[in-house]
Amino acid sequence: MKRILLAITIGITAVSFAGAEGWKVSGIIAANYSETAVSDNWSGGEADARTWMIKGEGSAEKDMEKTNWLNTAKMEFGKASLGDDPEQENADLIDMDSVYSYKMNSCLNLYSAVTADSQFTELFDPAVIGESAGIGWILVAKEKQNLKTRAGAALRQTVASGADTENDTGAEWITNYDLKMNEHTKFVSELKMFTAFEASADTRWDNSLYIKLGEYLTAQAGYLLVNSGMPGTDLKDTIETRLTFGLGISYNLF
């Protein structure tokens, strides 16, 4: 079952990204690297340090009169080391969504979706696969600003080698917002919430700011908040956050 679900999700995304007729495809890949090296007799408090990260995002959308099929993929991988300590991952993410919508009117639609979340370290082990269906709303649809949300019933499977698949049934709420401030600056935000009927709740709020400084030079800032726990649990024990800044090369794939 694990292999089948992953194959379906990856296959759907790959087919659309192939750029078949009628698809609007976009993507960007960026890489950041920083290093500090000091001599053995250095009297300051600094130590040898190295940080690098590669990040890629892409989307493929087929918009028809009554239907819309949107596939998105986000991938990150990076490592950091300090002094003689071994390198450790400071970014490790694979996130893929495929959402098919039937338009009831200009603002309201019915949708079904398949999602896959995992990491490059121990690839797809574990992985979280989700299937959902419900109603979506387009709240803002402008040339430089978009806000949409969807909510519905959801199934979720957590799969890992050597362990039984963990199945959850519940409800999801996902909100996406993007703002193009000018031709060089863009802000993207996504809020994902999943509540299982067994009362567990997961929240993921991912924010990214891109500032293009030149043809291949981009500054990036990111804020990620993750919360997994039971209602009533002290938030300070379950909320995790990550703040990143980077300056590096970028390339538009499509």
Please state, rounded to an integer, the average pLDDT across all residues of the chain: 84
Which residue, chain included where needed, has tokens 């209602």? 231
pLDDT at 18 over 90: no
pLDDT of residue 3 exceeding 50: no
The CA distance from 125 to 121, in Å, is 8
pLDDT at 10: 53
- Say how far apart CA 75 and CA 94 lie, in whole Å: 5
235 falls in which pLDDT band (50, 70, 90)? low
Fold assignment, 2-26+54-80+93-252 = Outer membrane phospholipase (ompla); Chain C (2.40.230)
Residues 78-127 have pLDDT tens digits of 999 887 778 888 888 899 999 999 999 989 999 999 999 998 887 778 88
pLDDT tens-digit readout, 175-193: 999 999 988 899 999 999 9
74 contact partners, CB below 8 Å, separation of at least 6: 56, 57, 93, 94, 95, 96
Q: Find the range with the poorest average confidence among 4-8, 67-71, 218-222.
A: 4-8
pLDDT at 114: 94
